[in-house]
Structure 1
Amino acid sequence: MKATITPAIPGGDTLRAFASAAAAGVLVVDATGTVLLCNAVAQTLLDRTSEDLVGAVIGFPLTPSGISEIDVVGGAGGVRTVDMQVTATTWENERAYVITLTDAGLRKRAVRRLAVSEERFRAVFEQSPIGLAVLDGEARFARVNNALCRMFGYTRSELEQRTLTDIVGSERLPADEKLTRELSVGHGTGYDLERSFVTKEGETRCARFITSVMSDSEDEHAQVIASVQDVTERQENDARMIRLALHDELTGLANRTLAMDRLQLAQARADRNGAFVGLLFLDLDGFKTVNDSLGHAVGDALLKETARRLRSVLRPSDTAARIGGDEFVVCCEDLGADAVEAQAIAIRVVERIASALAEPIELEGATERTTASIGIALVRGLQYSPDMVLRNADQAMYRAKQQGRARFELFDEALQARALSRSDLADELALALERDELVVHYQPIAELRGGRIMGAEALVRWEHPVRGLLHPADFLDVAEESQLIVSIGDWVLNRACRDLAGWRRSIRPDVFVTVNASARQLGNNELAASIDRALFEAVLDADALEIELTETMLIEATATTLSELAGLRDLGVQVGLDDFGTGYASLTYLRSLPLDFVKVDGSFVAGLSENVDDMAIVTAIVDLAHALGLHVIAEGVESGVQQQALEEIGCRFAQGWHLGRPRTSRDFTRLLASAAAA
């Protein structure tokens, strides 16, 4: 309908305050339709001035009702569609009406925008490859998409008749449902949980539920939208990787990391009542002969059978582990507080092991018998560190080897004397720092494709005046124990930065050097300051230096050490994880720590040419690192076959004797210069 406006006589202004505050157009008219009052919005909508409107008679229907849509003719003759609502009121004690007007075009455009938005949401919701659901306040499925139906195995109608409880069925679900209810009434913004669920076929799987609130101003209960991703395979892979990191893949026994952890826990428990813990160190006699004469497959079979026999004779409280090659350890708890009785119990365990190993073994159609040389180290509680206990047991085993094999030896005072010689070595090492007997050698890090040298790892050596050139394995553990490692680490860092600065200025501006940091360096909260000082003194950019950390350091990291790591990143230094794959916290820390690169442990690289499992592990490590934006350096590349396998996997950088042996600073300078001139 079209409404017209007829001139009339002016009236009063009682509702003026209401009209001026309203966002909509407002007309106040008397029972005859005469306009008594109008606001500015009404003037705009009707294209009339106040003088035109007030006193005019309008042709609007004056029956109080809901919102209706009408066309009005403006002052210039144009027609505008408005939404009108009439409400009864009084004006100077006489019956009157308040007419509110809004632009219907605005409403229609808003409706169209809402319809487009809803269509887009529907398309995204339905076409998403991730399972999506809208949950009401009682955790019922109000709406689901096809991906969620496929994941859970139900049809849409079946799923929309169920609640989260029907699908998840977790003992933690009451708390989860409470979270959903709280979200629906405005408490919180969402949650991120992983829960198991049961498909229609009865299969138990795991999903990640990420929720957020869909608010609706007209409804006191908001709906909750949940994205659901099946993470079963990821969890299985994580569990598999963790197991690989904690256990020896060949035998299924604990590996060195787990064994040392169990030993430390056993010592802590024993320390409460002064009890003894025993560590047995086993080395199979003649294993190399078996391996060389009958092949690695037979050698592996012998190791697996040895592990099986160990398990069969140990007490429930004992832990057996393979720590490398043909070396095993057994941690014996519950030996009591009496030294003689503890020794007797440990010897009885050794005798059972020796008896089990002596039984004939059928290998490749031949009957073999094996023996072991076993060292026993007893420790009362926390008397010695786990590493010291392991070294003591190792020394006792070595003496058993020297005494004719197939026997056991106890760590005693004579062996203790040998341990004391380590103290003398520590004194010599302190003098070596003063006398400048330490040197840095550099092992090239090259691009696998093309072999171009990109950088080097800085490796410390000791030019001992009597014993000759000593490698890190000969003295760094003593340095760790004596706390000289911090001074040595600072010395290596400064020397490497000076050498690197010279190479970048005169030969290659893009070459880099990696330097190993010790746990003590990271733990004294001065590593970042030491690096900053070394970079400043060498006039070297921070991005030229890469710092390598071990997994053990990261596992034991405190909030303070994590802050120290953040300080390294703030400097611009690259931070990496050394020997990746050998520790049990790799996955957790790869995701949570500020890392730039990882080094694949050489033990995995060594098996690339003949071990399918090692190939799978290295491939998984490289893919995982790349997915997290990290670059990968493979260690221990000793052959062209390994280099080719790493290239095919997608690993870009590597080091090892096949690519270049460690060499002095002068020789590495010549190598860089020669490569640059080629």
Structure 2
Amino acid sequence: MQHQQILPVLYDLSVTIGSEIRLKQLLTRTLQRLLYHTSFSAGFVCLDMPACEGAQAPLAVCISAAVGDFELIAQIGNSITVPCALVYGCASQELEPMPFLAALGLTRSHYQAFYRLPLEHNGAIVLLAMTQPETNFDLAQVLTPVLTQLSKAIVLCRAHDAQLAAAAAQQEILQQSLAQVEGEFQVLMAISPMGVGLSSDGIIMDANDAFLQLFGYARIEDLRGQVLTNCIAPQQRDKIWQHMTSRAQGLTTQDTYETVGLRQDGTQFPFMVSSRRLQTPQGPRTFSYFVDLTEQKRAEEQLRAVNRMMRLVLETAPLRIFWKDKDSRYLGCNRAFAHDAGLNEPDELVGKLDSDMGWHEQAELYRADDQLVMTSKTPRLNFEEPQTTPEGQQIWLRTSKVPLIGTDGQEMGVLGIYDDITAQKQAQAQIEKLAYFDTLTGLPNRQQVINGLHQAMETSEHSQRWCALLFLDLDDFKSLNDAKGLHLGDKLLIEVGARLKDCVRDHAMVARPGGDEFIVLLEGLGADVDDAAAQAELVAEKIRHVVNQKFELGKVVVHTTPSIGVVMFRGLEPGSDSLLKHADAAMYQAKKAGRNSISFFDPQVQTALEARLGLVEDLARAQEQGQLLLYFQKQVNAQGRTMGAEVLIRWQHPQRGLVSPAQFIPLAEETGIIMAMGLWVLQGACRQLKSWQARPITCDLTLSVNVSAKQFHQDDFVEQVRRTLVETGAKPSHLKLELTESIVLKNVEDTIAKMRELKLLGISFSMDDFGTGYSSLQYLKRLPLDQIKIDQGFVRDITTDANDAAIVQTIIAMTEALGLNVIAEGVETDAQRTFLEQRGCHSFQGYFFGRPVPLAQFEADLCQDKT
């Protein structure tokens, strides 16, 4: 091949490759042109060859194309085994070709030379000749652009061949499906109870027997080839012809509609037709289904006649009437109901739910009524229920509902009738107000108090919880009335009543039996009479304080004081009249005591209250007189090693001795003393931590300090803790604050914010008495807690009470899920400790390990444990 011939050769090969889109033709023609230009006798192409495992290793390849040799051409598409060196590697000619060429298995030709041209993607072209053609050029180098183009063309041709194969397969499937559909359609036409017709652009081609019977024809030959509109009544033909024309033009038309048909005998009848136009190999076809509507129209007309009669009855009835389906969706109503609903016509209600109406606030109530009536299949008659009008006003209805039952015995819906009884209810309310309420203040009157007393006595009889009756009289009210006038006195009574209601909110009854007297009824105060009396005394004191504040009545400022009598009761004795007399007597006793005071009817209760007041006064001085002590109770791990302690406060009274915390802690909470007391405990604990830090035996101990709700919710609580740590030098990491669930519930967001601030200082948190309150797990997972303390109330019976055992096990599992530590308090027996440890609780506190003791004894016990 001469130099001047190279460019024409490359051009010829490029044109050959670029002109083919099918893989087989591409490979064959390219081989033909290569043989022509290189003077080789024959050649073949292998694609997608497997990996070579050595020059002598046999390799199974598929002949994709071959030219120049009949035997070689016969191998196209077959797999032959050849040495790997024959088809793999760079373009080359072997020095000893016979072993390789003999592997081709050709019997008629004996090739002595070959040339390999590698292709991308594991392919090769092999040229064969009897003798090696002479050339001055490196064929591989010269043909490299052509081979690159060929490799790309192979990929494109393969994709094109795959698309053609897929299209052919799809066409075959479509042809088979069409043949199947045509067969099935013929069967459907034969067995269909509906009339079925086949037409082409409005010309009838075929129809089933039902169609012929519907339109009064005996044979299809009588219709085939006729215009379809011949079967349509004359007055409808133009409209139907427009339908068919639009469908033939590809425009969107209504597929299903009603019209009027014309039978062969000239009679007309209503029918419904549903049509669909399809393109088939034989041309456009329209398939239509025909349904006779004669009986349906007759039934509809009868139903309309019945409905007209029913509508006449409903509209003339002097009641509101409605009916719903089983989903409480309105099916209809009379005009009176529509008017109440703010609608112009009854038909506007159809399909709506009560939640769509102006009374949507009562939708669930009405739906519940409907379901009750339908499921029970029992009428619900003459019950009262509220309703909100479209104008937003509330009215009252007297309603009756009956179930609508179908012929199969199943509920179909509900029929309702109601009347507006708002005026009647208002009249009843006015009568009740006059009978049971004071006309001046709007408070319950004496009769209402007696009714309330009876109810409270019955409730307390069952609950065994104490109640209190407070009888209040304004001091010197008569003098004020005489001096300022009845009008100003009435204003004062109204204001006093309002203040009393604010004092007790919704937790008690406030009444005015008459004159300047008021009554407050407190219920559910507790099972212990002393505690109940203390609560009643707190309310009475609050009332006394509030009434002592000045009253600004217009331009006049008035001052007054109350005398309050209190009587405690539980159960049905001694009766409401006696209770009122006792409360009145206690009130006069308060007046005798100097007015503006509180007096209890029961002398024993009075004595107990005085003792309690004395205890409060002593408690207020206990801290400054050094009567408060710090006790320490061990907190140990599973090995019994003391890890820390809980700091507990004790009161050593000079006369009463060691006062139980159950007595003075609630008093401190009520009076606010707890805030100063809590700070004193915190400071003492931090000082003790600082002292322990210098001793090896105590340097790792932690101290848990209880924090009350009032103390924690002080605005400067975080600053108090920070200042205490700085002043004492205690390590924050050794201080643990114990919070109760009540602290969290009072103000969750404030609690979380304060806890996070304190956590930044290094302080840890434990939730005390867990499980005894009502805290939500939603809040619990947000709190930056370190530990949960299982309340001793659950621990006490875990070995004997399955419920307590399940609760404790659940709490332990929950703490593990939340990544928190858990400690159990109140552990008093080895059985309790074993139960807890086996279920994953490894920290304990309780009498089994040690009682709360003073500091000296705690440290002595600690040293003894170490030895």
Of the two, which has the highest radius of gyration?
A: 2
Higher relative CO (Cα under 8 Å, sequence separation at least 6) belongs to 1
Superposition TM-score, scaled by structure 2 size? 0.37
